[in-house]
Amino acid sequence: MESSETGEVKLCVSYQVTCCGWYPIYDIRVRSDILWSIDEILLTYRGCVYQNCDEDWVNASLKLSTAQPCLSGIMPELGSLQAIFHKPTPPPSVQPTHPFAMKCTHFGSTTPLNTGVSESVMSTIFDVPTRKTIFSGSGEHKITFALLDFDSVMVHQTIPNKNTNVYLVASAINDSPYPLLSGSASVYFDNSFIAQTRIKSVSPGERFQCSLGVDPAVKVEYKPAYKYSEQAGLISKSSLTFHEQKIIIKNTKKDKILLMLTEYVPKSTDERIKLISPELDVVEDKNMVGKILSVGRRINADNNLEWTLSIAGKAEANLLVKWSIDYPSTETIEYKEYF
| Nearest CA among 206, 166, 203, 189 for reference residue 66 | 203
| Nearest CA among 193, 179, 187 for reference residue 211 | 187
pLDDT at 329: 86
**Torsion sign across C-alpha atoms 118, 121, 127, 128:** negative
pLDDT at 99: 45
Residues of the chain with pLDDT under 70: 1, 32-39, 69-87, 92-122, 234-235, 278-293
Domain segments of the chain: what residues?
Answer: 20-65+121-150+172-208, 219-328
Q: Is 188 exposed, middle or buried (0-12, 13-18, 19+ CB in 10 A)?
A: middle
pLDDT at 50: 93
pLDDT at 61: 87
Digit-coded pLDDT (tens) for 314-324: 999 999 998 88
294: left (phi over 0), alpha (psi -120 to 50) or beta: beta
- Give the Cα separation of 311 and 7 in Å (integer): 80
- Hey, what amino acid is at 218? V
3-state secondary structure the chain: CCCCCCCCCCCCCCCCCCCEEEEEEEEEEECCCCCCCCEEEEEEEEEEEEECCCCCEEEECCEEECCCCCCCCCCCCCCCCCCCCCCCCCCCCCCCCCCCCCCCCCCCCCCCCCCCCCCCCCCCEEECCCCEEECCCCCCEEEEEEEEEEEEEEEEEECCCCCCCCEEEEEEECCCCCCECCEEEEEEECCEEEEEEEECCECCCCEEEEEEEECCCEEEEECCCEEEEEEECCCCCEEEEEEEEEEEEEECCCCCEEEEEEECCCCCCCCCCEEECCCCCCEECCCCCCCCCCCEEEECCCCCEEEEEEECCCEEEEEEEEEEEEEECCCCCCCCCCC
Relative to beta strand 183-189, strand 20-30 is: parallel
pLDDT at 120: 42
